[in-house]
Amino acid sequence: MRLPGLDPAGEYRVTPLAPGDAAGVSSWLTLPWWGDEDGVTLPGRVLDTVGVQPPTLHPERLVLLEAVRVA
């Protein structure tokens, strides 16, 4: 999932938000950074061109992500 429009030179902390922070899926489907309260920090350039992998969800589920600039 790409996050376009971010400053390519900035660093962003990406974390899941409720209700998507509790994805309701098996642990083998959850990504390593998903349960970490610090989320994952990546450059804006990476988030714009590559993005982050969301967890595998059932069709009726949703995911909300928050990207906050930290540097």
Overall number of domains in the chain? 1
Would 2 be classed as within a structural domain? no
The answer to whether 43 touches 11, Cβ cutoff 8 Å, is yes
Would 38 be classed as within a structural domain? yes
53: containing domain:
13-69
pTM of the complete model: 0.77
3-state secondary structure the chain: CCCCCCCCCCEEEEEEECCCCCCCCCHHHCCCCCCCCCCEEEEHHHHHHCCCCCCCCCCCCCCEEEEEECC
The tens digit of pLDDT for each residue in 12-70 reads 999 888 765 554 544 445 667 776 678 889 999 999 999 988 777 777 777 788 999 99
Closest listed residue to residue 27, CA positions, set 35, 19, 18: 35
Would 1 be classed as within a structural domain? no
The pLDDT value recorded for residue 35 is: 67
Would 5 be classed as within a structural domain? no
